[in-house]
Structure 1
């Protein structure tokens, strides 16, 4: 009987957590099918305004351009971040030096600094290189992600040292070991990192808002957010746009979810 009670409590708590997690997505989908006035009064059933909201969204927003901008920034940012941060994580673990741990500890301490405190000096630096209004201004500050470097270093601890030693015996240099041995072995780690970094770049709002000053450069996140600033926002249209903006990250996650779980658990194959 105590076991039954424990399982009941566990499933109740899990059901509550699932409801809290899923309800915003349910509300978003339901809202996209209703009029703005119905959403305002809390209608929680599906309506018949989906195609009208879709037509209003595409008539109001240059959807292909803003989603292309978001996709380009997210893809370039993901590739560069994984390239730089994985190399750094690999280097921190594989190469020993007198100051390695001190430098790494300092980097982890920098994680405690909020981004709001870095915005002004970062903007001044980007302005001095005349990069404001470019994709580089959005992407470059994040390519050496301290969290991703930390993540790859921790994952590299599980990388079999025997593989590296055998590769050296076979005459491979360090770059060849990284590309031909390390990369295929750590594919689950890379899959998890792809999801984390892609979502961060796709959903990035504050920094692109600061450095992208031309309307044709705006991302989907910025444009959809700006739709709420009118005196009478069309919430149905906004929620439809939000669904479209959510789809790429959902697709990436579901394509890589198995590898994501393996990577987060530290699996090496």
Structure 2
């Protein structure tokens, strides 16, 4: 590659990087400015951060929302990884044509929008008295076709000879899964954990429908509450968005290397 092409490539990547990072920068800047300054498009840090923090905590129950979001996201991530990994392992290791048909039906379910099933789900959960509960939050998304497919693809790279040797040594299928499959698929678990945690943390529609109690509020619901009313304080709103964004950013940066390895390993 010539110097001219290298310069154009780096210039293009620099511009794309700036465009990608700018929304995060503007969100941080807006969180430190007053609503009027945010409306004017101020691009420098202001001095209203502590005032915005006081107003946010005075007007909204941030501690409860953060606690609920962490609780729901952690529980949902743990259960989803357990269920989807076992399902993906079972679909591949105990492979037959009937399971292929079942897998096709599961993948077809990805094409059905959640809004189409939301009303029947609400009536079902209302009849089961699961409104405003952790179980009601996690049950509809406890297993997803995408995660099952990802674990199934990863299970294809698991050597069958090792499983046969383990069975001859007297290990049960659960022991093979727990002692051998799970440790070798750490990158896949990291990728699935990142996807599931971010999805659960950012979930808004279903919690808004099923969580009517103020003590069950989550961070996305809190952010939505700040946009209601006649006047919106954009400084407080962007501060709430920043607080809501930080946990997912931390999780992604901690697991970004494993995330990339898990995604590429699942596609191969």
Q: TM-score, normalised by structure 2?
A: 0.95
Q: Distance in 2 between matches of 1:219 and 1:150?
A: 29
Deviation at 1:259, TM superposition (A): 1.4
Q: How many residues align?
A: 266
Residue 240 of structure 1 aligns to a residue in which SS?
Answer: helix
Q: Using the alignment, how far apart are the partners of 1:214 and 1:156 within structure 2?
A: 42
1:94 aligns with 2:93: yes
Matched, 1:31 2:30: yes
What residue is the counterpart of 1:239 in the other structure? Answer: 238
Q: Distance in 1 between matches of 2:77 and 2:206?
A: 16
| 1:113 is the counterpart of 2:112 | yes
Shift, 1:249, TM fit: 1.0
Other-structure match for 1:51? 50
Kindly state the Cα deviation for residue 261 of structure 1 after the two structures are TM-superposed.
Answer: 1.7
The Cα of 1:124 is off from its aligned counterpart by: 1.9
**1:82 paired to 2:81:** yes
Give the equivalent residue in structure 2 for 1:185: 184
Give the drift of 1:20: 2.5
State the alpha-carbon separation in 1 of the partners of residues 221 and 81 from structure 2: 25
3-state SS, counterpart of residue 96 of structure 2: coil
In structure 1, the residue corresponding to 2:97 is in which secondary structure? Answer: coil
Q: State the match for 1:72 in structure 2.
A: 71
Which moves more between the two structures, 67-76 or 92-101?
Answer: 92-101
> Could you say if the C-alpha distance between residues 129 and 244 of structure 1 is closer, same or farther in structure 2, counting changes exceeding 3 Å?
same
> 1:17, CA displacement in angstroms?
2.6
Deviation digits for residues 161-202 of structure 1 (CA, Å, limit 9, x no counterpart) = 232122212211100000111111101110111100000000
Offset at residue 243 of structure 1 (A): 1.3
CA distance in 2, matches of 1:101, 1:154: 13
2:265 partner SS: coil
Partner of 1:158: 157
Aligned to 1:260: 259
Q: In structure 2, what is the Cα distance between the partners aligned to 1:85 and 1:126?
A: 22
Measure the CA separation in 2 of the matches of 1:125 and 1:234.
38
The Cα RMSD (Å) is 1.5
Aligned position for 2:195: 196
Task: In structure 1, list runs of 5 or more residues that go unmatched.
Answer: none
TM-score (norm 1): 0.94
- Secondary structure, in 3 states, of the residue corresponding to 2:2? helix
Question: Any gaps of 5 or more consecutive residues in structure 2?
Answer: none
Rounded to whole Å, the distance in 2 between the matches of 1:244 and 1:98 is 48
